[in-house]
Structure 1
Amino acid sequence: MSKRNNHKAKKLHPPKGKKQHRSGGKTITAEVTCTGFTNEGKGIAEWKGQKLEVPYLLPGEKAEVHVSQKGKFVNAELKRVIDASQDRVEAPCPYYYDCGGCQLQHMSNPAQARFKQQYMEKLMKPFGKPEPIYTMDHPYDYRNKNVMTYGLNQKRQVIGGLYAQNTHEIFDMEECLIHDPKADEIANSIKDYMRKSKMQPYNEDTRRGFLRHVLIKVGKVSGEIMVVLVAASPEFKGKNNFIKAMRKAHPEITTMLLNVNKRDTSVVLGNQENVLFGKGTITDTLCGLEFEISAKSFYQINPVQTERLYAKAIEMAELTGKETVIDAYCGIGTIGLVASKQAGKVIGVEVNKDAVKDAVRNSKRNGVKNARFYQGDAGEFMVDMAARKEKADVVIMDPPRSGSDEAFLSSVVKLKPERVVYVSCNPETQARDLKYLTKNGYKVEGIQPVDMFPQTYHVESVVKLVRK
């Protein structure tokens, strides 16, 4: 077993060398007792009648914290744990207190599950009691898509990693415990190549240099790997030498692309794309179906948990082979195509035309005859269906983090499907939308939380609604 797959946790205090990100103003040290959690997994404590939110502090713990105040803003940071909780463990990642990408590594895995379960029960209390959360046996190495950023340190040496939390500064890293291990190996090989060659990282201030980011996608089942170099220029000097070196070091790379992004933006990918070798896409298998994935395709990050999520969603849809199912926000067609195996007819609707093309291609690839995909607004599509007196038995909706808007939800109510299956990556906006649906003719009959992103505070949720 590799070192990264053997994460043994021990109880101890957070490292004293953790970087402080002060808000300014006078800083004092206070002794507090943690009484609960915020939704983001920060500890809640009271100080001089004010509520403090303290990262890395657990309920029941007594601790010293640094408190700084600037105007009405109060910032609290953990200095030292005096009495540690039984749920506290040593964070297995050496970058944990700098990175910020994970928020819960100082909690044991059972404690993480308990935190997420309690959060869901509190949030969903008006609608019913959630089922026990689906957790992972191995809650690491799960991400199939990763982005690394490259730059120069103060010694003008090439570094590659992620941005430190609350900053725009890259910190050099060798591995991320929630990335696919092979992706980290490739990212490190690229960094080593840059150090030995003349390939320079892009500097946002001087607007000089070549490489901005590297996006790596891994087919967890197929083993196919896509590497996308995001560069500031289409002129790739030494291209052939680079490709040759990478293919020799990592023969498992099946395709490589150059994406050109000249904009000053936090968006990783630009619009211009050239295939350096391979077919420009990879394939992977999900729920027994094969999907083609491009650089810009949305594909669920954690395929192990996605299979469990989709299986639950299809179970909630109660399909018998006769139903007309609408897959709203269908993306590249994943959940709609999975549903097609048990439905009479599937209609997928998606605003993004590239995603619709991917969905059509994936439908043909899997020989699916009973699914059709349309580009457009799903809400308007359903209003038009209702106006034509067409019916849908089930609506499956998987909106973005912002949830749905009232226009879409009212279109669901107008269409009157017997069942609505609501998949969400943000239970807060899901709960908001459930209020509307339950006031307008629907009743919640099942809530299933899924730990799609272990070590972080995020929770995925699928809810079954039935027309009264």
Structure 2
Amino acid sequence: MTSSHNSPCNRAHSPAQNRGRKQAKPAEACPHAARCGGCAYQGIAYKEQLDKKQEYEQKLLSSYGSVSRIIGMDKPYHYRNKVHAAFGRDRYNNIICGSYEESSHRIVDNTACLIEDTRAKAIIEVIRRLAGDFGLKIYDERNGTGLLRHVLIRTGHKSGQILVILVMASTFFPSKKNFIRELIRECPEITSVVININNRRTSMILGDRQYTEYGSGYIEDTLCGITYRISPKSFYQVNAVQTELLYTKAIEFARLTGSETVIDAYSGIGTIGMTVAGHVRKVISVETNTDAVKDARRNAKANNISNIDIYADDAGRFMRRMADNNETCDVIFMDPPRAGSDKVFLNSILKLMPSKVIYISCCPETLARDLAVLARRAYRVTAIQPVDMFPWTSGIETIVCLERR
């Protein structure tokens, strides 16, 4: 799953202080690092970041098997294709926008970021200026007044398409048409603009209602030769370059022959299942998020992938029903959220007993916890491959291959 810029799992193994560490080159230094806290490895050379992540993976996972050398990025900058900026005002009443300071809702007014898409950051700066020019009321989180709360931008790595989501506290948007017209005039690279309404006193970024103001309301991007539709709420890996490498390695570990039935659990918009579909007889894709399921079904149809069945369901309960009905599968690909899997899902694996489980994890701590269940008796770990999906942060993606004993 996608790692957030600033998350509990990331902070769990971030360095307390980088005292005595090799300092980054000037081009790598971020002036906002001290307040932002999103990039735990600021001031550490990239090779040393990889060494630290490798050391941590070995500490947590080496009891299950040999941990391969972490795969890093050739160009570990500006890889995030999903960029969020919270809006507010400083004590001088200037409009500020950026990420939240670590463990708070204080906005870090960052005009540049080492890991976020540069096109997205430039568009956010235009929106900031236009908000001032148009007298747009900025949301005040303390008293719940104002209009513009957040801007969320999603970019296509290969398509170049850009989706801008303006998160508003109300449907009342004075001079909306003129505002968006001017935004498109200044940023013609924008593919679509969506207005999302979030009128609740909540830390959630997106509200339940939204409407398209310009373009199609989504973007498309290509991953491993398959084109995906990405809507405002869709899950999509934030680092497209490393995701292709991640999926290629996962398929390699599965050693597929073409005759298998596989389950893609926690499937999101279907990226893993559709990448695997060309290598197997049948894919069963299971995802709880109904928006993601709709996108997945569209994606399968648009790419003429006919050997995939997509279900809106809890994967653990779905697999338990399969086992109760004496149905089988050969391989499970699982990519759970940061919290890892749960007892229902893990027990359903042990009941269904596929020959292989390919576990893709974005949190080494919960991965180690879940492996303790799966590798205790029924499975043995045959491969562990860390992938650096999130340079400059302490996040690590890991692929583990488990084979039935």
TM range (shorter): over 0.9
d(CA) in 2 for partners of 1:375, 1:86: 48
SS of 1:315's partner is: helix
d(CA) in 1 for partners of 2:102, 2:289: 31
Cα gap change, 1:190/1:87 in structure 2, threshold over 3 Å: closer, same or farther?
closer
Aligned to 2:376: 439
Q: Which of 141, 146, 164 is the equivalent residue of 1:227?
A: 164
Are the aligned partners of 2:350 and 2:378 in contact in 1 as well (CA < 8 Å)?
Answer: yes
Q: TM-score, normalised by structure 1?
A: 0.82
Question: Is residue 71 of structure 2 the alignment partner of residue 134 of structure 1?
Answer: yes
Counting only pairs closer than 5 Å after superposition, residues 39-438 of structure 1 correspond to structure 2 as: 40-42=13-15, 54-57=16-19, 61=20, 85-86=21-22, 92-438=29-375
Question: Is residue 397 of structure 2 the alignment partner of residue 453 of structure 1?
Answer: no
Are the aligned partners of 1:305 and 1:452 in contact in 2 as well (CA < 8 Å)?
Answer: yes
The AA in structure 2 aligned to 1:145 is: K
d(CA) in 2 for partners of 1:226, 1:413: 41
Are the aligned partners of 1:397 and 1:420 in contact in 2 as well (CA < 8 Å)?
Answer: yes
Q: Report deviation, 1:322.
A: 0.6
Q: Report deviation, 1:40.
A: 2.2
Q: Report deviation, 1:150.
A: 1.1
d(CA) in 2 for partners of 1:204, 1:39: 28
Aligned to 1:48: none
d(CA) in 1 for partners of 2:363, 2:142: 35
Deviations 1:361-406 (A, max 9, x none): 1100110010000111211211221222221000111111111112
Deviations 1:387-435 (A, max 9, x none): 2222100011111111111221111111110100000011111111111
d(CA) in 2 for partners of 1:403, 1:167: 25
d(CA) in 2 for partners of 1:213, 1:39: 27
Q: Report deviation, 1:358.
A: 1.2
d(CA) in 1 for partners of 2:178, 2:190: 16
Are the aligned partners of 1:211 and 1:231 in contact in 2 as well (CA < 8 Å)?
Answer: yes
Structure 1 residue ranges without an equivalent (≥5): 1-37, 43-53, 62-84
Are the aligned partners of 1:413 and 1:440 in contact in 2 as well (CA < 8 Å)?
Answer: no
d(CA) in 1 for partners of 2:22, 2:283: 49
SS of 1:119's partner is: helix
d(CA) in 2 for partners of 1:309, 1:434: 19
- Give the paired residue count: 394
SS of 1:403's partner is: coil
Select the structure that is richer in strand.
1
Deviations 1:166-217 (A, max 9, x none): 3322132211111100000000000111122211211122322110000000
Deviations 1:343-372 (A, max 9, x none): 110000111222111111110011001000
Structure with max Cα Rg = 1
Q: TM-score, normalised by structure 2?
A: 0.95
SS of 2:191's partner is: strand
Are the aligned partners of 1:87 and 1:111 in contact in 2 as well (CA < 8 Å)?
Answer: no
Q: Report deviation, 1:162.
A: 1.7
Q: Report deviation, 1:164.
A: 2.1
d(CA) in 2 for partners of 1:419, 1:269: 37
d(CA) in 2 for partners of 1:199, 1:328: 43
SS of 1:443's partner is: strand
The AA in structure 1 aligned to 2:199 is: K
The AA in structure 2 aligned to 1:122 is: K
Per mean C-alpha deviation after superposition, the further-off stretch among 197-206 and 161-170 is 161-170
Structure having greater relative contact order (Cα 8 Å, sep ≥ 6): 2
SS of 2:178's partner is: helix
Q: Report deviation, 1:88.
A: 6.2
Deviations 1:119-156 (A, max 9, x none): 00111121012111010011110000011011111111
Structure 2 residue ranges without an equivalent (≥5): 1-10
Are the aligned partners of 2:134 and 2:179 in contact in 1 as well (CA < 8 Å)?
Answer: no
Deviations 1:8-30 (A, max 9, x none): xxxxxxxxxxxxxxxxxxxxxxx
d(CA) in 1 for partners of 2:187, 2:311: 39
Q: Report deviation, 1:39.
A: 5.3
Q: CA RMSD, aligned part only?
A: 1.3
Cα gap change, 1:86/1:178 in structure 2, threshold over 3 Å: closer, same or farther?
closer
Deviations 1:25-54 (A, max 9, x none): xxxxxxxxxxxxx95232xxxxxxxxxxx3
Are the aligned partners of 1:144 and 1:220 in contact in 2 as well (CA < 8 Å)?
Answer: yes
